[in-house]
Every structure is written in C-alpha cells, then in structure tokens.
Amino acid sequence: MYKKFYFIVFEGIEGTGKSFQINKLSKNLKKKKLSVIKTREPGGSYTAEKIRKLIFGKSSKDFDKLTDFYLMLAARNEHIKKTILKAKKEKKIVLCDRFKDSTFAYQVVGKKINKKLNLFNEKFILKGLKPDLTIVLISNFKTIFSRINKRKYKNKFDKLDKVFFRKVQNSFIKLAKAKKNYCIFDSSINDNILEKNILKTVLKKIN
C-alpha cells in the first residue's frame, strides 16, 4: 500500500469546480485504500477557519487589501502548522482547495500587492513546503458565471467581475506553463472523463 506524504493542490478561479473534483478524487483514492485528507484555504484547521470567518465576514468588504492579504497568510500559517505538517508526519495524501498560487493570482496580480512582499512572507511561512502536484482547472466564462449564479451563498470573491477573473485565470495558466508538476484541465464540462483523467494523472505521479 502507498504510504507516503503527497501534497496535491487544486487551483483556479471561482466556478471551475475545484471542490467538486476534489471530492471525486478523494472518493476514488479511498476506493484504492489510500489514506487521504481534504482541506482548503483559507481555512483547513480549527484556528484557520476562525480567520476564514473574518476574511468572508460582513465587515471584510471594508478591509484594506493589505489587511486581507495578511489575514490570508495568517490562515495559511495556522493551516500548515495544524493540518498539513501533521498529515506529512502521518504520511497521508493531502488534497487542498487553493494554496500559495491563489495568493499570487488574486492578491499580487489581481489586487496589486507587492510581489517582493508576498515572496518574503511566502518563504517565511512555507519554509520549503511546496505542493508535489498542482492541478489548475480552467473554464469558459459562460460556464463559470452559470455555476456561480446557482450558489445560494456568494462570498466576496464570487462577486468579482469578468475582467478580474480573466486576469486571475490567465495568471494561473502562466504559472502552470512555467513550472514543473503542474497540470491544466479544462473543467467547462465537469464530466466523468475529467474525473478519470485527473485520477489517472494523480496515480501516475504517486506510483
């Protein structure tokens, strides 16, 4: 049986089906008797979820962009310390909905947070921790907004406009094309074929 820590991150803008595909992948890996945990950012631990409530709370719309940025990093620090490093010690496969690339795409590219400031904080918090595989989901914008509009509860990121989303999605694509251990999948059609292709990719990487 596979018994090794493996860190898989799903990235993409709202409406690309990250949570849906993470759930599918988790079930498929567990069927193969693999030890898997699902987590997310911001959040992923008891303390990080407390910070998440601040990030998405009613008053969060009044936060300065730098405040928002540091709240995201504070949540990540708690998430790493309380969840990811524990999973690493227990040699589990971690499936994470968002990680450091979302900070770069949304805060640095989207909100114009200083790139050097982000890199400095990233190195300090991650201390060398990085995903073994990053799966980037992209979709056409008609599908994206159709999915977002069906949500009962919309957070502040769901309410961002098409121009912002396009900028962020393009930044994810550029990151994926520039680095190793990245895979891009078109999730405009969230079907069994996509599910099988993601599973196939993951099994090939971990074996």
Domain range for 100 is: 6-206
The model's pTM is 0.94
- Is residue 180 included in any domain, yes or no? yes
- Is residue 1 included in any domain, yes or no? no
> Following DSSP, what letter does each residue of 61-115 receive, concatenated?
GGS-HHHHHHHHHHHHHHHIIIIIHHHHHTT-EEEEE--HHHIIIIIIIIT---H
Given a cut of 60, whether residue 1 has pLDDT beyond it is no
Given a cut of 70, whether residue 174 has pLDDT beyond it is yes
C-alpha 56/C-alpha 44 separation (Å) is: 15
Q: What is the CATH number of the domain that holds 105?
A: 3.40.50.300
- Is residue 170 included in any domain, yes or no? yes
Share of the chain above pLDDT 70, in %: 99
How many domains would you assign to the chain? 1
Given a cut of 90, whether residue 2 has pLDDT beyond it is no
Mean pLDDT of 83-104: 97
31: confidence class by pLDDT, cuts 50, 70, 90: very high
State pLDDT tens for residues 134-151.
Answer: 999 999 989 888 888 888
